[in-house]
Amino acid sequence: MPTSLPEPDLRGHTVLALHAHPDDESIFTGITLRRLADAGARTVLVMATAGELGESRVPLRPGETVPERRVAELERSAELLGVSRLVLLGRRDSGAPGGPASTHHRALALGDPLQLARRVAEIGDEEGACALLHDDEHGVYGHPDHRTAFRIGAAATDLLGITGYGVTVDREYLHLSEGGPHLVHGAAAWAAVPYGRATCEIALAVTGDQAHLACKRAAITAHASQLDESDVPVEGFADTYGYEWFRRRGRAGPGVLDALGNAHLFATA
Ligand SMILES: [Zn+2]
């Protein structure tokens, strides 16, 4: 892990990031969002749900609901990651396939992806966005909401005619990593699905220095209703969480993620 990295100048560029649940932004794209902000880019985080089904592991205030707590945690995470604007799409966590929440009328997985993509594209249009980060075709690990986030993100990318970066994890890297389990391991076990991609399917890996890593860890642990600091121990954090992986749709651009400097590590997927 390098001690410091020269940042490209991304002033004047805007990047949209679409995620399914509060905490996904920090776990899968925390370093990337922080580095984009540090490089001067404007970042807009679009959150599809408020993670309604994530039971709180800490007591809530009287009258406080899980989504209220999770949105407050998301706001803190976004602040730590230098996000310029946070937009809530207002859909609801779909939970496990076949579970009671999967048929809720606001369940993200039941939403019309094209209609939601038009909303995301409107935001991208008014922001003049040059790139959109969203889940890859597998939804990183297959959660129905993450798969829907892919369909929304891919359609919005097409509507905007910009470069799309599909968020995933490198399962070969994580298998060999000595840093301990990644949160995606638990999530994939919960969903009983495989996760991530083979290294050769990944176009771009973004890494960061110690400050970016500390920032990512602080953003993850801002979601204190969902996880304890001991779930992401400092020891091994750089190994397990020090890279963020993307598949690319559209051309590589100097004003987008490719400028963060790690594209040379991997062949184009
Ligand atoms: Zn999620």
Rounded to the nearest 5 degrees, what angle is found at the Cα of 233, between the Cα atoms of 209 and 174? 70
Domain ranges (residues) in the chain: 14-265
> What is the average pLDDT value for the chain, to the nearest integer?
91
Q: Which residues contact 237 (CB under 8 A, 6 or more apart)?
A: 179, 213, 217
pLDDT (mean) for 5-16: 87
Ligand 1 centroid distance, CA of 20 (Å) = 5
Phi-psi region of 85 (alpha: psi -120 to 50; beta: other; left: phi over 0): beta
- pLDDT category of residue 194 using cuts at 50, 70 and 90: confident
CATH of domain 14-265: 3.40.50.10320
According to the model, what pLDDT value does residue 5 have?
59
Ligand 1 centroid distance, CA of 23 (Å) = 7
Residue 241 has pLDDT above 50, yes or no: yes
% of the chain with per-residue pLDDT over 90: 78
Question: How many CA atoms lie within 13 Å of 26's alpha carbon, on the beta-carbon side?
Answer: 27
- Residue 75 contacts residue 26 (beta carbons within 8 Å): no
According to the model, what pLDDT value does residue 7 have?
79
Residue 269 has pLDDT above 90, yes or no: no
Q: Tens digit of pLDDT for each residue in 135-193?
A: 999 999 989 999 999 999 999 999 999 999 999 999 999 998 888 899 999 888 877 77
Ligand 1 centroid distance, CA of 76 (Å) = 17
Calculate the CA 88 to chain-centre distance: 14
Ligand 1 centroid distance, CA of 246 (Å) = 16
Ligand 1 centroid distance, CA of 54 (Å) = 10
According to the model, what pLDDT value does residue 211 have?
95
**Quick one: tokens of 142?**
């297959």
Low-confidence winner among 33-42, 229-238, 248-257 (lowest mean pLDDT): 248-257
pLDDT (mean) for 206-231: 96
According to the model, what pLDDT value does residue 179 have?
87
Residue 239 corresponds to which amino acid?
D
Low-confidence winner among 55-64, 94-103, 120-129, 196-205 (lowest mean pLDDT): 94-103
3-state secondary structure the chain: CCCCCCCCCCCCCEEEEEECCCCHHHHHHHHHHHHHHHCCCEEEEEEEECCCCCCCCCCCCCCCCHHHHHHHHHHHHHHHCCCCEEEEEEEECCCCCCCHHHHCCCEHHHCCHHHHHHHHHHHHHHHCCCEEEEECCCHHHHCHHHHHHHHHHHHHHHHHCCEEEEEECEHHHHHHCCCCCCHHHHHHHHHCCCCCECHHHCCEEEECCHHHHHHHHHHHHCCCCCCCHHHCCCCCHHHHHCEEEEEEECCCCCCCHHHHCCHHHCCCC
% of the chain with per-residue pLDDT over 70: 93
Residue 22 has pLDDT above 80, yes or no: yes
Ligand 1 centroid distance, CA of 266 (Å) = 26
Ligand 1 centroid distance, CA of 24 (Å) = 5
- Give the C-alpha separation, 126 to 122, whole Å: 6
Ligand 1 centroid distance, CA of 6 (Å) = 31
pLDDT (mean) for 27-53: 97
Which residue carries 């597998």 as its tokens?
Answer: 138
